[in-house]
Structure 1
Amino acid sequence: MHFEIAYKWVIFLLPLPLLLYWLLPAMRRRRASLIAPFFDRAARVSGQRPKRNAWVSRRNILGWICLFLCWICLLGAASSPRYVGKPAKKTKTVRSFLIAADISFSMAQTDWVMNGRRMTRWQAVKYVMKDFIKERKSDQIGLVMFGTHAYLQAPLTTDLETINWLLDQTEVGMAGQMTSIGEAIAFSIKVFKEDTVKQKVMLLLTDGIDAGKEILPLDAAQAARKDSITIYTLGIGQAKGSGGYDLDEKTLRDIAYVTGGKYFNAMNEGQMKQVYAELNKMQPVEYEEESYKPVTLLYMYPLAAAIGLGLLFHFLNGIVNLFRRHA
């Protein structure tokens, strides 16, 4: 760390009190006086004409020194002295990454095996998703959950611990039984509109077919493209017609194509991790760094000295006046 003065030009104000002393007239004070009964006769005899007058108080040398030192301390505080450390860098948020996850009843299927234990699709997705979220260090992450309807589980934030905690609180069926992909995309567009970051990326994760009646998925994707939102779609489970719960891969591919993203499919933990690794390559974590210097302000010390000198001046002035009265 090194010492520096932020406003060096303040030193040119140092002679300002002397300049004011020379240019401005002295302050004159009036005081009561005793007039003798023979004052008028004495004035006539002496030939002098009486007139009103005032006196200028004289400042003692100690008072002048205190005031001048006080002025120096005030200028020292105004110049903003500081200790400045070595330049450092900090990461700025450069992208908004929104995860829209399907939590309809089909995600409760226990057809995934992880670490030798069978679990539901949603439990497996949450487990793998946490590792993916940890790597989005410079991003704002948000969570949108959808089923029959979509809702905001976590607003866009850089607090990854909160994101993981809110992810743990989410369970299948909290948004209804059906799968409304179009409504999920439309709702996510509204979330992005509250954000000022230009680079907007969305991961749409589902294992079903759109059952929404109000907003079609491709219409919502067209609206997302107009707002410069890139959507990556991730299908969980088997495709339509291959048994189990249906997965409309064609619609998911079309959504990704319209917005400039890509479609992925995952049937197990290994494939899911490969998808997230691929996303990291296609949407790498970009760091925008800005330099800053750690600063410790020191203006309070000369300011405190100025206050102390002002009190000292007042004390000395009171003592001098006391002696004058008794003299």
Structure 2
Amino acid sequence: MPSNFEIAHLWVFWLLPLPLLIYWLLPPLRMKSASITLPVYEKAVGYTGEKPRKSALVKRKNFFQWLVLALSWALVLAALSSPQLVGEPEMKVKTSRNFLIAADISFSMAQNDWVIDGQKARRWDAVKEVMHDFIQKRQGDRMGLVFFGSNAYVQAPFTPDLVTVTEMLDEADVGMAGQMTHIGKAIAKGVGMFEKDTIETKVMLLLTDGIDSGDDVLPLDAADMAAKDSIMIYTIGIGDPGKSGSDLDERTLQDIADMTHGQYFLAKDESRLAEIYAEVDKLEPIEYEEMENRPVTLLYYYPLGAALGLLLFSAFIGSLVQLIRALKRREGGYV
């Protein structure tokens, strides 16, 4: 990924002349040091008649020392300015809503009256196949799964990990929740899941091929609970109500959708179910906020390390020069 070089705090370089201002404006630092005591010093003062006075020695730096200090100061400021490599912005998906699929897996979903690739298949197998594509298209939503029959249970809690949701869908099969169809329990279970989450936009997709057979939680009572919690329910009826043996209660599914400001769909076969999912996608388009993430590589340690290395090198050279001078003095030479 291409990166651009940037300096985060360019104003730091206005401090470059600060050492010169300090040198010119502040008085020199005076430090006392021991002097050599001469045994005939008092006599020499008496002979000359001069009055002793305090004196000062100004230690001057050579050009090399000034150059090292100037470069070190510039490198320290370069480190403080926070040089960095900034990559191209990356857009990340921020979850905008919870989308719950409540699917009927009662015994009636095992009827072998649907067609997949020209072959007879169970209703549940056809529903799962189409549902896979639908789930994968919901990038940006937190998906959850509730399966119901005689009872309702959570197969997958709300998560942005759609791969895991798909795997949990594959693990479910007809009869795992009992043989009856309790739509009211399914909606109530979904309401409970939404209540535990903080995301405000809540959508439920309810699929069933039967009529509610429960008496503890009625479907319309559960739908009223969902409406009070601002949960929108899209209901999908599976099967053909005109055929004999169909228990599909379209009236109840229509009322549930109306009460929660959703919509009712009838899926008589796999192709129609796929069309319904496409319609739901249009009704609930993926609307997510984009978070801009710009990868940043900090480079401050390069100038800081260079400044430290330069000062250490200068100290080493100074010590080496003093050592050479001391050796020459010891041999009787003078530098």
Same fold by TM-score greater than 0.5? yes
For the residue of structure 2 that corresponds to 1:257, the secondary structure is helix
Q: 1:116-195 to 2 correspondence within 5 Å?
A: 116-195=118-197
The alignment's TM-score, normalised by the length of structure 1, stands at: 0.78
Deviation at residue 178 of structure 1 after TM alignment: 3.6
For the residue of structure 2 that corresponds to 1:136, the secondary structure is coil
Q: Which residue is 1:77 aligned to?
A: 79
For the residue of structure 2 that corresponds to 1:96, the secondary structure is strand
Contact 1:67 1:313 in 2 (8 A): no
Larger radius of gyration: 2
- In structure 2, what is the Cα distance between the partners aligned to 1:268 and 1:126? 13
Deviation at residue 256 of structure 1 after TM alignment: 1.0
Contact 1:28 1:56 in 2 (8 A): no
Deviation at residue 199 of structure 1 after TM alignment: 2.8
Q: Which residue is 1:236 aligned to?
A: 238
Q: Which residue is 2:332 aligned to?
A: none
What is the identity, as a one-letter code, of the residue corresponding to 1:261?
Answer: G
Flag the 1:189–1:60 CA change in 2: closer, same or farther, 3 A: farther
Flag the 1:321–1:162 CA change in 2: closer, same or farther, 3 A: farther
- In structure 2, what is the Cα distance between the partners aligned to 1:150 and 1:54? 95
Q: Which residue is 1:264 aligned to?
A: 265
Q: Which residue is 2:253 aligned to?
A: 252
The alignment's TM-score, normalised by the length of structure 2, stands at: 0.77
Flag the 1:26–1:317 CA change in 2: closer, same or farther, 3 A: farther
Deviation at residue 125 of structure 1 after TM alignment: 0.7
Flag the 1:29–1:173 CA change in 2: closer, same or farther, 3 A: farther
Of 14-23 and 265-274, deviating more is 14-23
What is the identity, as a one-letter code, of the residue corresponding to 1:9?
Answer: W
What is the identity, as a one-letter code, of the residue corresponding to 1:302?
Answer: P
Give a deviation string over 1:83-139, Cα, whole Å, max 9, x none: 445666555443332212222333233332211322222211110111222322333
Contact 1:31 1:54 in 2 (8 A): no
Contact 1:266 1:275 in 2 (8 A): yes
Give a deviation string over 1:12-69, Cα, whole Å, max 9, x none: 2223344455566766777788878x69978997998999x99987655434433332
Is 1:303 the equivalent of 2:304? yes
- In structure 1, what is the Cα distance between the partners aligned to 2:315 and 2:150? 77
- In structure 2, what is the Cα distance between the partners aligned to 1:26 and 1:216? 92
Contact 1:87 1:292 in 2 (8 A): yes
For the residue of structure 1 that corresponds to 2:217, the secondary structure is coil
Q: Which residue is 1:319 aligned to?
A: 320
- In structure 2, what is the Cα distance between the partners aligned to 1:79 and 1:123? 62
Flag the 1:92–1:322 CA change in 2: closer, same or farther, 3 A: same
Q: Which residue is 1:277 aligned to?
A: 278
Give a deviation string over 1:273-315, Cα, whole Å, max 9, x none: 1211221222233355566656554434323323432432443
For the residue of structure 2 that corresponds to 1:72, the secondary structure is helix
- In structure 1, what is the Cα distance between the partners aligned to 2:217 and 2:24? 81
- In structure 2, what is the Cα distance between the partners aligned to 1:260 and 1:48? 108
Flag the 1:254–1:54 CA change in 2: closer, same or farther, 3 A: farther
Match of 1:227 among 207, 226, 229: 229
Question: Which sections of structure 1, spanning at least 5 residues, go unmatched?
Answer: none
- In structure 2, what is the Cα distance between the partners aligned to 1:103 and 1:67? 79
What is the identity, as a one-letter code, of the residue corresponding to 1:271?
Answer: R
For the residue of structure 1 that corresponds to 2:173, the secondary structure is coil
Of 168-177 and 269-278, deviating more is 168-177
Q: Which residue is 1:201 aligned to?
A: 203
- In structure 2, what is the Cα distance between the partners aligned to 1:43 and 1:104? 121
Contact 1:26 1:56 in 2 (8 A): no
Q: 1:286-301 to 2 correspondence within 5 Å?
A: 286=287, 288-289=289-290, 295-301=296-302
Match of 1:218 among 217, 220, 235: 220
Give a deviation string over 1:198-218, Cα, whole Å, max 9, x none: 432211112233344543332
**What percentage of residue pairs aligned between the two structures are identical?**
55
- RMSD of the TM alignment (CA)? 3.8
- In structure 2, what is the Cα distance between the partners aligned to 1:32 and 1:81? 47
- In structure 1, what is the Cα distance between the partners aligned to 2:43 and 2:195? 94
Of 248-257 and 184-193, deviating more is 184-193
